[in-house]
Structure 1
Amino acid sequence: MKSFLSALFLLITPALGSALSSRVDGVPAGFGHSVTGGGNATPAIPANISQLRDWLTDNQPRVIVLDKEYDFKGSEGVCENCSCCQVSTCGDHGQDAIEVDTGWCGDRPVIECTYDKATGIDVASNKTLVGIGSQGVIRGTGLRFVYGASNIIVQNIHITDLNPRYIWGGDAIYMNDCDLIWIDHVKISLIGRQMISMGFSSSGRVTISNTDHHYWTILGLGDKDQVSFFNNWIHHTSGRSPDLGSVSSWHIFNNYWSNDTGHAFSVTSEPAILVEGNVFHDVVTPTNPGDGYGMFVTNASTVAVCEEIMGRPCPENVLTGSGELSPYTTNNETSLATIAKADETNIDIKPVSQVQAFVVANAGIRKIHLNSTSVRRDYLKRRAHWRH
């Protein structure tokens, strides 16, 4: 009951004069600092998956509260006896791939397969989507922020079970041609493709914080993306953790990578990336060999340069039981200057000694806390009103 009530802060507590809304926990920081989502729209709980889809796609500012699992499996149809191809095995399992229009399977062995036609929900502008405790679950589909959508908050939600057996089975969160996105305290699991995928058009100003990822995690290819990525736990992955490219800006700090059997960073083209104050534990390949374009990585020999250009302390990265975290070139001061000039606000960079414990304790769902008996009374009154 305590953890259930703790999460209710994100629904009830007044926002102390902020336009952000009283319906989320904390304040967005980094590049997405000005996001307000659904603002002070009255919180409402969708009755079923149809209503949830309607509310996410309409043109009304909304604060949408999830207090149960919303199971979309089969809701968009099922492709039976369709074409897939064999790609990899892992014991008796592994993944096959859905054949797509580009002919991705090539000359790989063809097999018949059955999978959900899970195209994702196109989320419109000015939405807050927030879960209570660990109960806010979206199963069998993902979220898409596309074609001019902006000002969206997703907090304390678990997205899971999206064709996990199949490559090209769908992304948990996809963004392309959008702006002002805050993804916070989100857990993503059992996804066939990417946890978070950013298309070639700009995803604008984005903050990704306090999330819990595994397997293939983040694909960031958007032109002119500006992303603050911090306090996230990336574990048990085999690659793309993250995979970045195009002319974009990423500030990656205070994250915890652990038990990753493949590569973490794969960085090509010309992004500007500052990697500081992160912890890597048992990560076989922190940077994919030959990649690392545009990365400035803090260590004993570079931290002084970082502090001079950024005008503040720059914590080093710490690696244990891991390979090397290496940029393509040893000195990317241009990337530092790009991050230093950007409009990144409210960030709180912790000493690296605190990162592992903080991230493990706070990343993912059900990690938002409040001690207040008034919250319980207010919530029970509102809940009775919503239900009737």
Structure 2
Amino acid sequence: MARLQFLFAAAVALVARSSTAITIGSPSGLATGTTGGGDAIPVYPKTTKELVALLRDPAPQVVILNTTFDFRKLEGNTTAEGCRPDYMRKCIALNNGFKGQDVILQDGGMENTGGCTNGVSVNVTYDNAPFNRLNVRSNKTIRGVGKSGVIMGKGLALNGDNIIVQNIHITEINPHLVWGGDAITIQGLTDGTVPLKQIWLDHIKISRIGRQFIAVDKAGASTMTISNSDFDGHTEFSKTCDGHHYWSFLLYGKYTGISMVNNYIHYLSGRLPKVGGTADSNVVTHIANNFYKDNSYHSMEIGTNAYVLAEGNYFVNTTKPLYDGDDPDVPGMTDGSIYAPLESSEDECTAQLGRLCEVNVLEDSGPFGSRNGTTALAKIKPHPTIARYTPKQAQQLKLSTGNFGVGDLE
């Protein structure tokens, strides 16, 4: 009898551990309260078709990924006229061992295609799968097991509220071409007029993407947290011809609020993140306790209608932590507001937020600091999850060996 009781208790403990492992922890920052698929029975897709169907299902789902889902070549290739921009031609002439990126033409041809600077015509070939993104609807948890949950050749389009994406790797999306595809796209609901709510991206890894790692546009997402993740820019194809991916985070949106906390952002060369910069943007961003390492060219770009609090971040070998307006191809990205303390004596957070802000640390990196800082804090003040956030001292972060991202998932 005692043995039966022991076995029953052990089984209960195992179930409890398995249930807890579906989603580890809870989001801090603006996505506080996100539950994803909640208590839905976990499902384990085996094929790409099963994964597509589960994510677009209107019912709550907890989708566990324990294998690689490779969408490359499943939807064919296209060869069409593209653009070879001046930076690609310069990279070819430089012949330094790295490759640049040609550009897939958008509607309107070369003159209306972003990234096609002084372009000339060239044929480009690309995989079609990234242009039919995985449609993720409301009340979903997507959770990888260990380091086995990988999606190759296709990104996610988040088209619902209350979504958790945890411990997966998105990679190999036409990395050789600008406009080759985004890893995660958010544009809001109702034709981009209503912002998404409760979006949590945690312990994810993104690498080898043709365009943006994360793109937020149109209505945006009003309560979103990106945490504990690995954004890896190593690539042979680069706008900056140095093996560092350029197109990283594009944070636009009419009603956007994003917390970026505790992420490892490395070997990139631009848009870390690019915030605001359009007349219809209204973007509040909290960038806290991230580790920026080995980033060439420029990092944060703070444009019109962007309001940023950057605190407790650690920069190592990062050329320009804050873009200074030196590139004619990146206009208007110095007009926004950012509060970024470097010394405790300059802290204004107590008056505005009721707490101290944590200073940022620079090591072998370019200049950083506030720009219209009082304006940024005033805009952030109405967001209690930011005001109550307890930042840590800036530190260098380490990636987990057992799962994706920063820190171990228990």
The equivalent of 1:123 in structure 2 is 136
Is residue 2:158 matched to residue 1:145?
yes
> Any gaps of 5 or more consecutive residues in structure 1?
1-8, 16-21, 371-388
Q: Deviations over 1:108-145 (max 9, x none)?
A: 22221211112211211110000000000000000001
Root-mean-square deviation over aligned CA pairs? 2.2
TM-score, normalisation: structure 1: 0.84
Change (3 A) 1:28 1:92: closer
Corresponding residue of 1:82: 80
| Cα distance in 2 between the residues matched to 1:130 and 1:228 | 20
1:239 corresponding residue in structure 2:
270
Aligned partners of 1:11 and 1:23 also within 8 Å: no
- Number of residue pairs the alignment of both structures matches: 348
CA shift at 1:322, angstroms? 1.0
Q: Secondary structure at the match of 1:150?
A: coil
Indicate if the aligned counterparts of 1:25 and 1:368 stay in contact, CA closer than 8 A. Answer: no
> What SS is found at the alignment partner of 2:285?
strand
Please say which of residues 205-214 and 294-303 is displaced more in the overlay.
Answer: 294-303
Q: 2:148 is aligned with what amino acid? A: Q
Q: Which residue is equivalent to 1:186?
A: 204
Q: Which letter maps to 1:349?
A: P
Q: Which whole-Å CA distance do the structure 2 matches of 1:262 and 1:152 have between them?
A: 33
Partner of 1:113 in structure 2?
124
Which residue type is aligned with residue 85 of structure 1?
C
2:342 paired with 1:299: yes
Cα separation, 2, equivalents of 1:309 and 1:341? 10
Quick check: 1:155 aligned with 2:166?
Answer: yes
In structure 2, distance between residues paired with 1:144 and 1:52: 13
The secondary structure found in structure 2 opposite 1:31 is: helix
2:228 corresponds to: 210
Task: Give the corresponding residue for 2:147.
Answer: 134
Counterparts of 1:1-388 in structure 2, within 5 Å, are 12-14=17-19, 23-79=22-78, 81-87=79-85, 88=88, 89=91, 91=97, 93-103=99-109, 104=113, 105=116, 108-117=119-128, 118-119=130-131, 120-146=133-159, 149-177=160-188, 178-213=196-231, 214=233, 215=245, 216-245=247-276, 246-290=281-325, 291=334, 293-300=336-343, 303-329=346-372, 332-344=373-385, 347-352=389-394, 355-357=395-397, 359-360=398-399, 364-365=404-405, 367-370=407-410
Is the CA contact (8 Å cut-off) linking 2:341 and 2:370 kept in structure 1? Answer: no
Could you tell me which runs of 5 or more consecutive residues in structure 2 were left unpaired when the two chains were aligned: 1-13, 189-195, 234-244, 326-333
Deviation of residue 304 (structure 1)?
3.1
Q: String of CA shifts for 1:285-328, please: whole Å, max 9, x gaps.
A: 11111416210111226643123322223111011111111333
Change (3 A) 1:170 1:248: same
Which structure is richer in relative contact order (CA contacts within 8 A, separation 6 or more)?
A: 1
Corresponding residue SS for 2:377: helix
SS of match in other structure, 1:52? helix
* Contact persistence 1:31–1:228 (CA under 8 A): yes
The structural deviation recorded for 1:207 is 0.3
Q: Percent identity?
A: 35
Distance, in Å, in 2 between the alignment partners of 1:10 and 1:144 is 32
Letter in 1 for 2:82: C
